[in-house]
Amino acid sequence: MRYRITVAYDGTVYGGWQVQLGTVTVQEKLELSLERMTGTRPKVHGSGRTDQGVHAVGQVAHFDLERPFTPVSLQRGLNALLPLDVRIMACAKTEPDFHARRSAIWKEYRYFIWNGPVVPPHLRLYRAHVSRPLNVTSMREAAIHLVGRYDFAALTANPNRVVESTVREISRLEVQKKGPELVMVVRGDGFLYKMVRSIAGVLIRFGEGAMPSSEMALIRESKIRTARVPTAPAQGLFLWRVGY
């Protein structure tokens, strides 16, 4: 029986989503909890990887179990075994051919920025802090040049693995502002390694006035990563939703 879960987590203490040597990950915690509950250790497949320190409110994953469980008992049992910074928000039986990553049509990330002199302590792990005033109009004008299907090689980092293509499609990129808080909402058919944090980093630079907004198209078209594109801090990033 295949199950689909929606997972929320505070990524502060984790080395990311994917199991890896030398660090504790969210996937590892899920698989260990499933092993304790079911007696077997199925592989948990996520909709995508999140990096060290990145959070999620809508990560989707699937796994297979030989012995059937009701979704309610699975959700309750896993939440009883998981640490409090990882929660199963929803659980359901799904079709045998459903795949959390390959079946996904789009993903939405949100990047949160606190644009003020002091970050409230309760938000320090969940907001990137930029103390200099940001010009939101400039950020929005630059963001327009990233909506569409393009080669985003200039806005990714080296993942130390083979990537078949750096072409992706962004269908939505907005910069919202409410008081000192800015939220960058980005939705696309897929994202490259550190692509969202790179977009956030370069939009912050535009907001600081480091470049005119027209430079964004030139950066994108160069297809070369340079120092003009910094990687924004991990703690501001959330995997928000996955569409199927």
Active site amino acids: 51
- The size of the chain, in residues, is 244
The Cα–Cα gap between 184 and 213 comes to 16
CA dist 92 → 45, 64, 148, 168, 173 (Å)? 15, 12, 34, 30, 31
Task: Quote the CA–CA distance of 7 and 89 in Å, as a whole number.
Answer: 6
DSSP H/E element including 108:
strand 106-114
**What one-letter code names the amino acid at 103?**
S
How far is the C-alpha of 214 from the C-alpha of 138, rounded, in Å? 9
Under a CB-based contact definition with an 8 Å cutoff, are residues 112 and 128 in contact? yes
Q: CA 61 to CA 58: how far, in whole Å?
A: 10
Per the CB < 8 A criterion, the answer to whether 14 and 24 are in contact is yes
CB 184 within 8 A of CB 172: no
Can you tell me the distance from the alpha carbon of 11 to that of 16, in angstroms, rounded to the nearest whole number?
7
